[in-house]
Each structure stands twice: as C-alpha cells, then as structure tokens.
Amino acid sequence: MKSTNELLAAMTLEEKAAICAGLNMWMTKGFEQHGIPAIHMYDGTNGIRKTNSDEEMGVTGENIPATCYPTGSAIGSSWNTDLLHELGVALGIEGREMGVELLLGPGINMKRTPLGGRNFEYYSEDPCLSGELGAAFVNGMQSQGVGASVKHFACNNQEFEKIVTSSEVDERTLREIYLSAFERIVKKADPWTIMCSYNLLNGSYTSENEHLLNDILREEWGYDGVVISDWTAVNDRIRGLAAGLDLEMPGPAYYNTKAIVQAVQEGKLDEAVVNKSAARILELVRKTAEPQVEAAASGIDYHELARRAATESIVLLKNDNGILPLDSEKISKMAVIGKFAKQPRIQGAGSARVTPTRVDIPWDEMKSIVGDKVDMVYAEGYPQDDRIDEQMIQESVTLAASADVVVLFVGQPEYVESEMHDLETIELPLHQQKLIKAVTEVQPHCIVVTSSGSALAMHPWVQYVPGVLHSWLTGQGSGRAIADILLGRVNPSGKLSETFPVKLSDNPAHMRIRGENGKLYYREGLFIGYRYYDRKELAPQFAFGHGLSYTTFAYSDLKTVYQDRKMNVTLTVENTGTLFGKEVVQLYVHDEECKWIRPEKELKAFAKIALAPGEKQQVTFVLEERDFAYYNTKYNKWVAETGYFQIAVGSSSRDIRLRERVYCDFGQEPVSFHKFSLVSDWISEPKARAIFENCLAEMNKHVTEQVVLDDVFIGFWGDFPVIKVIQMFGQTWLVDRSPDDVVQEMITEFERQ
C-alpha cells in the first residue's frame, strides 16, 4: 500500500466518505484502483464466529467450525494473564488460518447486575481484573497480526431496551468503575479498534458522544485507533463522525456516505474530519495487510488449549469434609444425574455463539477415566423445558440411593442467557431445585456441578450438599476439565470473578435494574460487586475472588517499601498441602483518610502462582500512584491524597491473610477557593485561616455579636459557606461592600500569597 497521505490525496471525497462504512455485514470496503484491500472481521469473544456468507448475520444457524474457548465470565475466573495472552495468540493464529483480520472482542463491560443478558461475555465486576486480562488477551492476538475490538464502549450493562435507554452515570463512577478497564487496555495494549455500544450515555448515544469518544478516549487517553460502531448502533452519522466514530457497521450505508459528502459540500462538516477517520481506517488496513510482527507458526492443539483454559476457569466453591476429589479406588458405584452431563452447556447464545470443532461430554470423559473400576449409572433428572416431572425426579432418587456418591449436573437453561434479553432470575429452575432437595434427602454424598454464565443464587439447597463445583460456560473442552477436577487429575484453581449473592435482592442494583422512560440511573455509584457487600457489611453466598483448592497455602512476610511515589510489595506464599496447586494472590488497597467516600477496599494487583507441595515463592507487586487514587471531580483528574493506606493481601476479598499500614506522601493537593467555599475549607489551610480570621476581626469591630473561630462555632457552622457567615453576622458592617466583594478580596489575597 502507498502511504496514507498519498492515498488520501488520490481518493475522492466520495471514496473517503464511503470507506467510513463497511462493504457488507463483515467486511470493510476495498478500493482496487488505489491498492486498498478489504478486511474481514467477525465476532470473537470466546472463539471465531465466522459466518458462511459475508452477507448474513448468522446468529441463529451454524457457522464455520472454530475452537470454542471458555466464555468471558469463565475465563475471567482463571485470573491468569499468561493464559489470556496464550488464548489471544491462539485466536490470532486460528484467525489467520480462517482468513480473519479483525476479531470483535474482548468484552470487558462491568457486571452491574447478575441479570445482564450478556454477562457471560464479560470478564468481571472489577475493572482491575478485567483490564489486566483484557490487555493480555489483546496483546496476544495482535502479536499475530489480527486486530482486536474492545467492547462495548461504554456502560452497556443491560439488554432490556438497550438501544433506547440512557445509562445515567455520574462522572466519578464512570471513570472509576465503567471506563477504568478500557483505559487500562488502551494504555497497555493499544487495541487496533474499540467498539462503541448501542445505548445512550447521559443523554447522548455513545456512537456520537463527544465527551466519551473525543474528550476522554482521544484527547485524554491518546487513542488513535479506529472506533467502530456496534452493528446498527449509529444514530446521527455526521455528529458521530465529528465526535470520533470512524467506521459504521454493517455497510454499505450508501445513504450516510451521501450525507457525509453533502455535509462537507454545505460547510456543515470539515473535510479534515473525514480525512482523519479515513486515515485511521487506512492505517488499520495497513496493519492487517502488512503486519509488522513475526507471526507464530501454526501447530497449536487448539482443543487441548480449550481444555486447559477450562480447567483454569472452573471454581470449587464448596468442599466439606474433603468430598472432592473422588477416589475411584474407594467408590464402587457412582450416580451421574442431570441432562447437562450428556448435553453440556458450553457457551451463551447470540452473536458470541461459536460452532465448535468438537465437544467433550462430561459423562464420556468421566467414564474414560474410571474405566471398569466404577459402576457409573445415569438419570436425566429434569426435562428440557420448565415443567416439573415427578417421575424423572423419582427415578433420580432411586438411582442416588443405590450409589456411593452422586454427581448432579444442573444449571441455567440455554435459552435463559443470551444477547437481546436479560435474565429474570439467578436461581436454578424449580425442577432442578426440587431434584437437588430430593436427591440429598437419600444421599448425603452429593456433589453439584453448576453451569451458568453469571452468578447463581444457591440458597437454600447449597447447605445440603457438601460439594459444589461451578463450571461456568467453559467451552468445548469443559467436559474433560470437569472430569479431571472431579476425579483429582487436576487441582482446581479458579476464583470467582464476580460476587455470588445469597439472593438476587442483595444485589446493589436490584431496585434500579431496568430503568424507566428511557433512563437508567446508576444510583449505587461506585458500589457494585464486592465494593457494595463490603460497605453494606453484607455476607454474600460466595465472595469475589473465592475459590478452593485440594491443597492449602500459607501467606507470610508481607513487606512494603514506598519510594518516589511507588510502592513495592513483597510477600511469601507456601504450598502447605500435599498436592501441586495454583493460588491467586490478591492485593487490595484501603484508603484510611480520604475526604471523599471510597470503597472499603479495591483490587489493585493479583498474581496466579504454581507451587509444588512444600514449595515457597516470593510474590512481588509494584503499585503506582494511580493505584491509590480516586477521580476527583472538583479538579477533573485522578488524585492520590497523602496519608495512611492499608495494603491487604489474601486468597479472596473476604479471606485477607496479611495487612500492612503504610504512609504515602503524594504531596499536597493544590488549594483553591471559590464563592461558596465552606468554613471548614478556609480553616483547613493555615494561610487561608489567617486571612479568614483577619476578615472576622475587621467584621467584629462593627457588629454586636462577635464571631470567634472556637470549637463551638466551628462545630455548628463548619459546613456553612463563608459568604453566608458574613451575610449572617456582618449586616451592620456591610455598607459599601457586599458579601461577594469580601469573599473575592479574601480569595485574591490568598492567591497573591
């Protein structure tokens, strides 16, 4: 390809406008006369969903087979950045083999509520975890010359009326919770594209939201890649182009090409804006057509990688009396109950649904491991639909009573979790709840294997079963992964990437899930996920970061060194059990002294380490100033305040093993005053207090009621603006000056000093 400037000079206005929309459902426009090839893009959050034709959406039918990896919610529970990078590399290689230049993923929106219909596509409720995993995934994929598209930007947290609903989010919550993971990925991985969402954000469609696309993404974060629309997410194309939306999908959108040309000709749109977007698209084409990377050779065993990814993602939630792993030498008969044992759910529905190359079946994989040592018997347990079949339950109970142990496969039905609609509940279907209760009444040795793409409520049945293994939706290798963990061939190492509440109403967004009249107010603010449960002092069923192992780990020797506004944190972790295992070490920060409301603690770093029995390893984290900061809307910037912080390290958000109290000096916050600055503001700074006291001394010469800054006065009037104090007590003094004049004189004197 010629240089971008040469191409822009050779292209007509119509051609530059046309390249800003796709050719069809899955391709950009190419211009043979200019040597500009088209590029192919397909959905790719947990595998490549390449359609049989570039003219079809292909959501409801089968597509070209590709490796189906664990969904976002599952792989998020791996907490393994190395694995995410490896998956990105594998998808890049497989993408090149399938003629794909751009994959539409990863999905990193925060999980505001467990009812989100696309929650299975997203990693976590926490921006640090999502951002680190997403950056690793993007870096891996783009190392193979295949571009990523980080989505959905931003605040796309529900499916209900999402195209006509405005997510109403205050600026601090927006920055700290809903944009933070995007920012981390932009700065650590420089994704070639970012996909805007369908919804409005604070009254403006994200596809044309200037504050989001230009002020924050372009200007503040310095992003110069392509912003692409979700399919049909464009509202006002001219406004969107001016805000920074480069590529409209799908194409060809002839009407908008004409509208762009007309807007330029009529002087309503600067042609330089069109040139910028066209240039960014041309650079994207260049990256895919002329990759500046040495792509890895093919030869990956994709299915084996899918199995390994699944084993890293599955979470052992409960293991009373060490019921797991099962020992085939000590079991003569095992009852396997539940349709999912032979017809597993491996992924969610909608645009992320992959046509797998093969699927491991849990029953078959368990059978292949135990061989003839164990008599395995099966009952379907429940019907395909929601009806309660008492005969199926009774058949399961009879089978369970005759066995030494029962493994029950349950979960959300496939039709429940899909793009285009939200969940109604996070409880298992009633027929499965009745099945678990009936089985546990006759067989106490019961392990429940759950499948879902989002958090599940497990009360009250969870108290009756000693073992619970949450398998998520872990892709085509999940059957082998489940079998390996149940039978002790693999030690589970997944940790929950989202909080599992006792009941749905415990969730902080429960009162405001869908919104009204096109507006959804995020009034829980910063307090989503574990941040809410910590602040509310509310016990979840299973905490964020929770996950058991077949071995045990001890934490010791926490040390912190603060220097040059960075903190080095080291600790030692030892495998104190008898089996090889992996532990996720989680570091949280608590601000003891901030003037603004902050969560009790926030995840700021994590590491997944592998240890043999008796092995120790030193774990090191480096925290930056930003890790101690909050978004200060007074100054519209991130601020870390000087003071005391707690560094808390543990095995989950509720299992903190070590704490260290540290003092961090980030300098003094710039002090400024305005017309309505409070008494407490003025007396908190020595120079300002002196100015205020001088003002009061002058006022006291002219008034009957004297004002003295003692504890009694401050205790009552501390949160009153100074201007109102002067207005209240200085009426007989204010003859030639107004309260505004007095306060402005005070401000001027402070700034002069």
The catalytic residues are 230
525 contacts 467 by C-beta, under 8 angstroms: no
Backbone conformation region of residue 272, classed left if phi is above 0, alpha if psi is from -120 to 50, else beta: alpha
27 contacts 40 by C-beta, under 8 angstroms: yes
The number of beta carbons lying within 10 Å of the beta carbon of residue 172 is 16
Residue type, 164: V
Residue with tokens 């999905």: 107
Residue with tokens 């994704």: 191
Residue with tokens 């005759």: 402
Residue 649: strand, helix, or coil: strand
Residue type, 121: E
Closest alpha carbon to 545 in 76, 45, 178, 71: 76
Q: What angle do CA 401, 407, 408 make, to 5 degrees?
A: 95
The number of beta carbons lying within 10 Å of the beta carbon of residue 229 is 27
Please provide residue 696's backbone torsions phi and psi, each rounded to the nearest 5 degrees: -65, -35
Residue with tokens 């230049």: 101
409 contacts 339 by C-beta, under 8 angstroms: yes
Residue with tokens 């279907």: 429
Closest alpha carbon to 410 in 390, 391, 437: 437
Helices (H), 647-738: 679-683, 686-700, 711-717, 722-729
Distances in Å between the alpha carbon of 525 and those of 171, 174, 591?
10, 9, 18
Q: Give the integer Cα–Cα distance in Å for 207 and 677.
A: 38
Per-position DSSP letters for 611-635, written without gaps between them: E-TT-EEEEEEEE-GGGG-EEETTT
Longest dimension (CA), the chain: 102
CB hemisphere CA count around 134 (13 angstroms): 36
CA dihedral 240, 245, 250, 252 (to 10 degrees): 70
Cis peptide before 460 (omega within 30 of 0): yes
Q: Give the integer Cα–Cα distance in Å for 143 and 543.
A: 35
Beta-ladder partners of 227: 194
Token pair belonging to 276? 């910028």
Beta-ladder partners of 42: 103
